């Protein structure tokens, strides 16, 4: 077996054999296949796709590259959630403690930013002292004592995916449906959760730009989970407009705490509760009310314990960028469009994301929104504030936001998109 033959097979639109898949994943994990060779294969997969048999085998090979976890010792049923990535998508932060407050255990293995989308671990690392890297023993202990844990996948869990995940981010192959599906599901199946809810984003700010591709990805992942004995359901949710009023690491943590305190933007609260209900239902918990757990402070209590258990200070002041630039409304009227992709790219350019896999991120960088589509604005009113520690980045970010919004004359009709578009089980 040799990697050139594997690359050529997929380059020429052939079907990879089980033996080819098993070999290339194992060889890449061991370092026998170089990054540039796996990059070529990933691009061939992006361009030419994989069938269901190939995807299932690729996922199984990723799982087989490492260990599998087991949560049978816990007294609670386990439920996990995964988002395919969006702009302002801080939902995991309030969701994990909320579901734990309602009686489930939430072993949330999360990732870092990919392209223009933010990463949950990058957001939480803006909290002083908080640790993403936990041993399996530490993870189980936090989960057992607080009901929820958000952390990085350990080196032993699907190590092939850990390498490929970072490579996809810097080679333009993030959007490949087979690689997205296998990346997500290899970690979730190896993680050992009993049930899984997938939040598959659709729209300009998502990797899936149209509902047909989102439906294909969701169906592929639901089938992979179900076939592996994990109760799996997917929601297709809108990502044409950023979620909430912030895109950036510390900015999103601050907004998440507002949600846990019973406030926060309506769209973030709506999606958090919708996903919580799906997770609780999948875990077999029928009598809990996540809306009540947000209102009565019990979700906030779990959040504080969870952050402290991972070394963070829930009362610490979050980082603030040294420089700000305010963008104002060019005219009075109704804000009718705010493009999620453009805002995500601006946040990335300001320092909230990475250009290379080894790049650091700025905790305080990002975009703060002062209006959302449907809001009435006045000429000169702040529309958004750009945050960064490096003011030379403003010019590059302003290029992205210049065409990101439309203001129409007052009285123009506006219909907001639904947050939840479809459910696939």
pLDDT tens digit sequence for 188-233: 999 999 999 999 999 999 989 999 999 999 999 999 999 899 999 9
| Residue 168 appears among annotated catalytic residues | yes
- pLDDT tens digits along 29-59: 999 999 999 999 999 999 999 999 999 999 9
The catalytic residue among 10, 116, 168, 305 is 168
User: What mean pLDDT value characterizes the chain?
Assistant: 94
- CA dihedral sign of residues 401, 406, 407, 413: negative
- pLDDT given at position 190: 93
Per-residue confidence (pLDDT) for residue 198, from 0 to 100: 98
How large is the average pLDDT for residues 303-332?
Answer: 98
Say whether 162 is catalytic: no
CA dist 360 and 40 (Å) reads: 26
Give the pLDDT of residue 360.
87
The pLDDT value given to residue 117:
82
For the segment 101-110, the average pLDDT, to the nearest whole number, is 95
Q: How confident is the model at residue 422 (pLDDT cuts 50, 70, 90)?
A: very high
Catalytic residue among 89, 161, 267, 342: 161
Identify whether 281 is a catalytic site residue.
no
Burial grade of 266 (CB within 10 A; 0-12, 13-18, 19 or more): exposed
Choose among 149, 153, 140, 26: nearest CA to 80: 149
The question of whether 82 is a catalytic residue gets the answer: yes
Q: Which of 126, 183, 186, 256 is catalytic?
A: 183
pLDDT at position 358 over 80 = no
Please say whether the beta carbons of 178 and 45 come within 8 A: yes
For residues 204 and 340, the answer to whether their CB atoms sit within 8 Å is yes
Gyration radius from the chain CA atoms: 21
Q: Which of 203, 245, 215 is nearest to 367 (CA)?
A: 245
Q: What is the mean pLDDT of residues 3-26?
A: 98
| pLDDT exceeds cutoff 70 at 130 | yes
pLDDT score, position 411: 85
**Is residue 279 predicted with pLDDT exceeding 80?**
yes
What is d(CA 41, CA 107) in angstroms, rounded to the nearest whole number?
Answer: 32
> What's the token pair of residue 397?
């970010």
| pLDDT tens digits, one per residue of 221-268 | 999 999 899 999 999 999 999 999 999 999 999 999 999 999 999 999
What's the pLDDT band for 357 if we cut at 50, 70, 90?
A: low
DSSP 15: P
Given a cut of 80, whether residue 169 has pLDDT beyond it is no
Is the separation of the CB atoms in 216 and 177 below 8 Å?
yes
Going by C-beta distance under 8 Å and a sequence separation of 6 or more, which residues neighbour residue 308?
314
- The answer to whether 13 is a known catalytic residue is no
pLDDT digits over 132-153, tens only? Answer: 999 989 999 999 999 999 999 8
Instruction: Check whether 356 has a pLDDT greater than 80.
Output: no
How far is 61 from 331, CA to CA, in rounded Å? 56
Catalytic residue among 10, 57, 81, 82: 82
Domains of the chain: 3-49 (1.20.970.10), 80-154+170-309 (3.40.1030.10), 323-408 (3.90.1170.30)
pLDDT, position 374: 94
pLDDT at 317: 97
The model's pTM is 0.90
Cα 123 to Cα 276, 285, 316, 353, distances in angstroms: 20, 29, 14, 10
Q: Which residues of 34-67 are buried (b: 16+ CB within 10 A; e: fewer)?
A: ebebbbbbbbbbbeeebeeebbbbbbbbbbbbbb
Q: Would you state the torsion angle of the CA atoms of residues 261, 267, 268, 272, taken in this order, to the nearest 10 degrees?
A: 100
Identify the active-site residue in 116, 123, 162, 187: 187
- How far is the C-alpha of 117 from the C-alpha of 354, rounded, in Å? 10
391 has pLDDT over 90: yes
Measured in degrees and rounded to the nearest 5, phi and psi for residue 228 equal -95, 10
């Amino acid at each position: 077996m040799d990697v050139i033959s594997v690359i050529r097979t997929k380059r020429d639109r052939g079907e990879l054999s089980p033996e080819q898949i098993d070999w290339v994943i194992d060889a890449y994990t061991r370092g026998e296949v170089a990054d540039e060779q796996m990059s070529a294969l990933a691009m061939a997969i992006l361009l030419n796709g994989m069938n269901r048999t190939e995807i299932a085998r690729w996922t199984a090979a990723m799982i087989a590259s490492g260990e599998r976890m087991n949560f049978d010792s816990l007294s609670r049923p386990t439920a996990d959630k995964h988002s395919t990535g969006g702009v302002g998508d801080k939902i995991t932060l309030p969701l994990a403690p909320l579901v734990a407050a309602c009686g489930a255990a939430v072993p949330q293995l999360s990732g870092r930013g990919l392209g223009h989308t933010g990463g949950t671990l990058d957001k939480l690392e803006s909290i002083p002292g908080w640790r993403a890297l936990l041993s399996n023993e530490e993870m189980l202990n936090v989960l057992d004592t607080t009901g929820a844990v958000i952390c990085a996948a350990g080196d032993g869990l699907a190590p092939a995916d850990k390498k490929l995940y970072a490579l996809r981010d810097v080679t333009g192959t993030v959007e490949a449906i087979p690689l997205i599906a296998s990346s997500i599901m290899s970690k979730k199946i190896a993680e050992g959760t009993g049930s899984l809810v997938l939040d598959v984003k659709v729209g300009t700010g998502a990797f899936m730009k149209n509902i047909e591709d989102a439906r294909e990805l969701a169906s592929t992942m639901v089938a992979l989970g179900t076939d592996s004995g994990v109760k799996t359901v997917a929601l297709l949710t809108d990502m044409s407009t950023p979620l909430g009023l912030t895109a950036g690491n510390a900015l999103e943590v601050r907004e998440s705490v507002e949600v846990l305190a019973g406030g926060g933007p309506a769209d973030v609260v709506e999606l958090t509760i919708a996903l919580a209900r799906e997770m609780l239902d999948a875990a077999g918990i029928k009598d809990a009310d996540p809306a009540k757990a947000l209102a009565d402070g019990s979700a906030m209590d779990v959040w504080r314990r969870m952050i402290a258990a991972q070394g963070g200070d829930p009362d610490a002041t979050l980082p603030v960028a040294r420089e700000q630039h305010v963008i104002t409304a060019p005219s009075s009227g109704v804000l009718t469009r705010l493009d999620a992709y453009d805002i995500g790219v601006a946040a990335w350019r300001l320092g909230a994301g990475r250009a290379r896999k080894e790049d650091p991120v700025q905790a305080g960088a990002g975009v703060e929104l002062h209006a959302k589509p449907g809001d009435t604005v006045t000429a000169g009113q702040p529309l958004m504030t750009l945050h960064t520690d490096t003011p030379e980045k403003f010019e590059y970010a302003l290029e992205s936001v210049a065409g990101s919004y439309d203001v129409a004359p007052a009285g123009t009709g506006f219909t907001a998109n639904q947050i939840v578009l479809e459910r696939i089980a």
